[in-house]
């Protein structure tokens, strides 16, 4: 009996030792290849990226890329090559945008960008709908996995990355070096919109009912107090201690039809009040300013610049980046009334039905 117990004890110790060795080998393999680039650039020097898994890849791009300018936020600024940002702002750049990112997810990316030793400028989109998920939730209607462990600085929290079968399979896939359909090795323009996404007026209004514009999108009505809390709780703790980095929050130029939707849902006063509150916060947090493209009549009334009522083409993305880097289009307490009234007049002097009908004729 004693001999049998000793044999079982020995077998258990051997099993434990072998398990630890196997887990160690798996972790070492994942860390050495590092397909998501959490610790260093991918070992092959040729990352394979997938826009469907942005939330996984962006954490590594923020940690391991060489950059001075970081773009982050939602899809409103993802369709621009890093080389264009370098041309406009000077210095290397990285695109850390995530489609349909919540402000909680955006704050997690912002934290990594501010911790990066080379960062000089951060340009972050600010979409009203990114505030719809509450303080820690995702955007209402979005159910993508957010791998918080990849954004953590704790090696213990990163264990799921080091030991998961998915990470091992992805590492092997990277070593093979052949991207699957939907993946890309274009590190300069990783989140480029697909060729099927056409920027023309007819495409922009496809499926739009001018009497109920939100029927196609199902965006959530927001309340001012909730918007303020969601932004403040997520962003201010991240930027409070930042020094030497210029942070620009950019309101992207939704088409005029979006503003007609906001009018139909009674949201314009709420969104204007949020903007006024936000620029007031720059007194306490001089680390950031607010760049606003939403009153640019030459853009928002030109439906041929849009693929849908929200997304404008990469040339408009370039204008937003250039404005942020060079200090133009800044919304301030001095120009707030004039600019918001100008946008309101655009809504009042245009007709959604006529805009849709004209776009369909193109």
Cα separation of 51 and 80, whole Å? 14
Assigned domain for 71 exists: yes
Assigned domain for 79 exists: yes
Cα separation of 326 and 176, whole Å? 42
pLDDT score, position 18: 74
pLDDT score, position 140: 87
pLDDT score, position 3: 62
Q: Which range marks the domain in which residue 112 is found?
A: 49-160+180-360
Spell out a b/e string for 188-208, using b for 16 or more CB atoms within 10 Å of the CB, else e.
Answer: ebbbbbeeeeebbbebbbbeb
Q: Would you give per-residue pLDDT tens digits along the chain (362 residues)?
A: 566 777 777 777 777 767 677 788 888 999 999 999 999 999 999 999 999 999 999 999 999 999 999 999 999 999 999 999 999 999 999 999 999 999 999 999 999 999 999 999 999 999 999 999 999 989 988 999 999 999 999 999 999 999 999 999 999 999 999 999 999 999 999 999 998 999 999 999 999 999 999 999 999 999 999 999 999 999 999 999 898 999 999 999 999 999 999 999 999 999 999 999 999 999 999 999 999 999 999 999 999 999 999 999 999 999 999 999 999 999 999 999 999 999 999 999 999 999 999 999 97
Assigned domain for 296 exists: yes
Assigned domain for 155 exists: yes
Assigned domain for 20 exists: no
Question: What CATH number does the domain containing 228 carry?
Answer: 3.40.50.1110
Show the tokens assigned to 36.
Answer: 């998501």
Spell out a b/e string for 53-84, using b for 16 or more CB atoms within 10 Å of the CB, else e.
Answer: bbbbbbbbbbbbbebbbbbbbbbbbbbbbbeb
Alpha carbon separation from 190 to 54, 112, 284 (Å, rounded):
10, 19, 36
pLDDT score, position 1: 55
Residue with tokens 């939403």: 294
pLDDT score, position 6: 72
pLDDT score, position 26: 86
Assigned domain for 120 exists: yes
Assigned domain for 171 exists: no
Q: At residue 102, what are phi and psi to the nearest 5 degrees?
A: -85, 165
pLDDT score, position 214: 96
- The SS3 of residue 179 is coil
Total number of domains constituting the chain = 1
Cα separation of 235 and 131, whole Å? 11
Assigned domain for 39 exists: no
């Amino acid at each position: 009996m004693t001999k049998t117990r000793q044999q079982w004890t020995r077998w258990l110790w051997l099993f434990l030792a072998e398990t630890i060795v196997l887990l160690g080998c798996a972790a070492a393999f994942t860390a050495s290849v590092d397909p998501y680039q959490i610790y260093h650039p991918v070992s092959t020097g040729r990352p394979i990226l997938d826009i469907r898994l942005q939330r996984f890849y962006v954490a590594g791009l923020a940690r391991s890329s060489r950059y001075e300018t970081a773009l982050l936020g939602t899809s409103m600024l993802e369709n621009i090559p890093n080389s264009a940002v370098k041309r406009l702002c000077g210095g290397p750049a990285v695109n850390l945008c995530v489609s349909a990112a919540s402000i909680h997810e955006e704050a997690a990316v912002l934290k990594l960008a501010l911790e990066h030793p080379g960062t000089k400028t951060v340009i972050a989109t600010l979409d009203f709908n990114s505030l719809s998920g509450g303080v820690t939730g995702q955007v209402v209607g979005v159910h993508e996995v957010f791998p918080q462990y990849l954004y953590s600085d704790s090696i213990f929290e990163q264990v799921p990355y080091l030991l998961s079968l998915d990470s091992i399979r992805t590492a092997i896939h990277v070593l093979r070096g052949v991207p699957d359909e939907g993946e890309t090795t274009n590190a300069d323009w990783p989140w480029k919109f697909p060729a099927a996404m056409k920027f023309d007026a007819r495409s922009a209004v496809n499926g739009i009912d001018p009497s109920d514009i939100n029927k196609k999108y199902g965006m959530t009505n927001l309340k001012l107090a909730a918007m303020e809390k969601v932004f403040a709780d997520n962003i201010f703790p991240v930027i409070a201690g930042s020094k030497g980095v210029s942070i620009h929050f950019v309101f992207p130029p939704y088409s005029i039809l979006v503003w007609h939707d906001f009018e139909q849902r009674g949201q314009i006063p709420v969104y204007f009040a949020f903007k006024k509150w936000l620029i007031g916060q720059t007194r306490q947090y001089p680390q950031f300013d607010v760049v606003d493209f939403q009153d640019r009549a030459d853009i928002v009334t030109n439906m041929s610049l849009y693929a849908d009522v929200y997304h404008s083409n990469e040339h408009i993305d370039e204008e937003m980046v250039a404005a942020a880097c060079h200090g133009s289009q800044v919304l301030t307490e001095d120009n707030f009334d004039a600019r918001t009234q100008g946008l309101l007049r655009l809504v009042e002097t245009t007709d959604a039905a006529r805009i849709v009908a004209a776009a369909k004729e193109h």
